[in-house]
A = this chain, B = another copy of it.
Amino acid sequence: MQIYANGQFLSAEMPCIHPSDRGFRYGDGVFETVRLKGGKPYQWLFHLERLEAGLKALRITLNTDLLKPTCIELIRRNHAGDGLLRIAVSRGPGGRGYLPGRESEPTLVIETLTAPPRPAAPLTLWLSAYEKISPNALPVQVKLAQGLNSTLARLEAEAKGCDDALLLNAAGEICEMSGANIMWLARGKLFTPALACGVLNGSTRSALIRLSPWPVHEGAYTLDDLKDAEAVIACNVALGAVPIAVLAPQGFTWNSVALAQQLQDVLRIDMTHDTQSAA
């Protein structure tokens, strides 16, 4: 297995990041995780645009002209078929303190990874004691290399015996899980928190909004809305749409398997079209 790091294809086992890299020092960077089907990236343009939006928000300058051919070459070298592609950009090495040095050159790391298995059973969620980071503090719509809020919520959920966490914002509005957006069906409509609530502009969220068989409502919702849902799913790039069975400690329960299967089916068809039509 190889990875691509700053102009070179290297063994994936080799340490290639300098300890002064601002990615390691401060999580000062962004990343994308892209689904591969038959060695081709799904929703490439979405990921490229979100990466570029993240770089702009962080004021990191990176020429992305050669990004796609470099990814394709890594996929070829690793014989990566239906896994994941991970693209990380940090502000690069140099300096101490929060003000970046002018001489910093960004670090670009590209990896291919196996996709995690789909969960054997519908997910159980724990309502996190951690509040989601406010969009007034960080540009949370892009995938920031600031994963500690998600990590702490995930560890807390695990300690409570649950599969994942559900996080609310400071206003008590539903945001998202530790690494997935949330959607639910109620009264013939599909609901999901609006980006303004402070949620990631997820690639699978975006695809499902485009592909949904039901009208989609994006808004600010509370646990009362979720309580009344008929079925609830989590969606992310690694798993697609997966059913949610329980929110603890509230004791909300749903039968979500059919909804998740239906949405997974529309994703699978879209992925086939998208990757077959890709250049």
Instruction: Please state if B145 and A27 are interface contacts (CB–CB under 8 Å).
Output: yes
Instruction: Please state if B19 and A18 are interface contacts (CB–CB under 8 Å).
Output: no
Q: Identify the stretch in A130-138, A208-216, A255-263 within 8 Å (CB) of chain B at 4 or more residues.
A: A130-138
Residues of B within 8 A of A58 (CB): 148, 151-152
In the complex the two chains form, what is the Cα distance from A25 to B137 in whole Å? 20
Instruction: Please state if B99 and A155 are interface contacts (CB–CB under 8 Å).
Output: yes
Q: Which residues of A contact B (CB under 8 A)?
A: 3, 5, 12, 14-28, 31, 33, 57-59, 84, 86, 88, 90-91, 96-100, 109, 111, 113, 116, 130-134, 136-139, 144-155, 158, 170, 178-179, 238
Q: 7 nearest interchain CB pairs?
A: A27-B27, A26-B147, A17-B17, A131-B136, A98-B150, A99-B154, A133-B137
9 contacts between A and B (CB under 8 A): A21-B24, A27-B148, A58-B148, A97-B179, A99-B158, A131-B134, A131-B136, A133-B134, A133-B137
